[in-house]
Homo-oligomer: A and B are copies of this chain.
Amino acid sequence: MEEQNDDERFMRAALEQAEIAFEQDEIPVGAVVVSGGRIVARAYNYTEHLNDVTAHAEMQAITSATSASGGKYLTDATLYVTLEPCLMCAGALAWSQIKRIVYGASDPKKGYLLYQNSLENKMKILHPKTEVLGGVLQDECSNLLKRFFSKKRLV
């Protein structure tokens, strides 16, 4: 129960990042990295402003967290992200050997699980030790994305 509360609390911090993205007219995805019970990195999707498809929230959060820790690996850290990571971000998270990934909304079109579930034999996209939990504050994460895309359609 305690853990659930912590997960929701840190997902709210990721949602705050997503809301900043929303206000900046970026697809609203936010992420935080937590290590030792505290947030060591915060980031939101910034692809439009940077003209850079690699500037997903997760990528920036990984870069920022490792820069803060001084180590290349995140074996003691948890990434909270409002949307299921894509293949690029899952590949980066694999390299980081992150301990745990918690995501909010699922992404059935571009999420890495579409690929993971289509792989023959027992190949894993993430590091074998990485634990994954999806669906934390799912509705809130998903509603923010829906609100963004319906606003876009009205423009």
Contacts and interface: CB of A to CB of B under 8 A. Distances in A.
A86 interface: yes
Interface string A116-142: 001111010100000000000000000
B51 A72 contact: yes
A40 interface: no
A101 to B, nearest CB: 15
A59 interface: yes
Interface in A63-92: 63, 66-67, 69-73, 86-92
Contact of A90 (B72, B87, B89): B87
Question: Chain A's interface: helix, strand, loop or mixed, by majority?
Answer: helix
Given A53-B72, A62-B53, A62-B54, A91 B87 contact: yes
A96 interface: yes
A96 to B, nearest CB: 5
Contact of A115 (B48, B73, B119): B119
A91 B85 CA distance: 11
A115 B123 contact: yes
Contacts of A48: 72
A149 interface: no
Across the A-B interface, the 3 shortest Cβ-Cβ residue pairs:
A88-B91, A87-B91, A53-B95
